[in-house]
Amino acid sequence: MKVIKGVLEEELENSLRMKKEYEKAIKALPQGALVKKEIRGHSYYYLMKREGLKVKFVYKGKLPKEEIKKYEEAKRFRAKYRNLLSQVKKQIAFLRKALRGKEIRSVS
């Protein structure tokens, strides 16, 4: 039984480490999402981000394609990391419940 408990504890440590890494990766990405608005036939870009309960739009003007791609890539990575973070949080909860549970006593 100690072997299984040791494996679960090791997996919990790995999951906690992965959670920290995912949170760090999300923080490293630029905040907000780029929004394109067409005004009188011209394209203008705004950075939309949340500050508390409010959503703020920061004017960015006309942007080069490289910067637009950077924000699109950041949006894709943020979605990926949030999904992974959600999965690892569920795994951590499961492992903690499994470790907290009563040990099975063999009847011999």
pLDDT in tens, 7-57: 888 999 999 999 999 999 999 998 888 999 888 888 899 999 998 999 999
Nearest to 57 by CA among 45, 67, 65: 45
More confident residue, 1 or 13: 13
What tens digit of pLDDT does each residue of 56-107 get?
999 998 888 898 999 999 999 999 999 999 999 999 999 998 888 765 554 5
Predicted TM-score (pTM) of this structure: 0.74
